Amino acid sequence: EVRLVESGGGSVQAGGSLTLSCATSGYGGTYSNTCMAWFRQTPGQGREGVAVIYVGSGRTKIPDTLKGRFAISQDREEKTTTLQMNDLKPEDAAVYYCASGLPTQVNLASLHTGDFCRILEADYPNWGQGVQVSVSS
């Protein structure tokens, strides 16, 4: 079965940077047709989509609120995904989760744009254990 393991969590001063990694296992030839996403959650809040990458093409999507500070990338050979976080703010503190699933946004429009992956919690059946990110002011 597919397993995801996050690493790289920790504490950082506001304005600093942190990189999280997601290692996968259990994938074979199906990995290229996979969406790899990052979510975050704080107490009392639902899981918020942070970033997503479609493995096959490398196309990425970042919410407008995080664009410019967060970036997602991958190593297809190693089947790993990286979340780079810059200029961290106290409100970025959360438990960060890696998730994977099949593309769900498949229609005539997405076939032209390549935008196959959404960052909605329900789209992702596979989840890592989560890592804590703390940001001090």
pLDDT at 25: 96
Joined tokens for residue 104: 């769900």
Q: Is residue 29 scored above 90 in pLDDT? A: no
Q: Is residue 44 scored above 90 in pLDDT? A: no
| Start-to-end CA span in the chain (Å) | 41
pLDDT at 102: 96
Sign of the torsion angle spanned by Cα atoms 38, 119, 85, 65: negative
- pLDDT classification of 28: cutoffs 50, 70, 90: confident
Mean pLDDT of the chain: 96
Mean pLDDT of 103-120: 91
Mean pLDDT of 90-95: 97
Q: CA 15 to CA 23: how far, in whole Å? A: 26
Is there a contact between 19 and 5 (Cβ–Cβ < 8 Å)? no
Q: Is residue 64 scored above 90 in pLDDT? A: yes
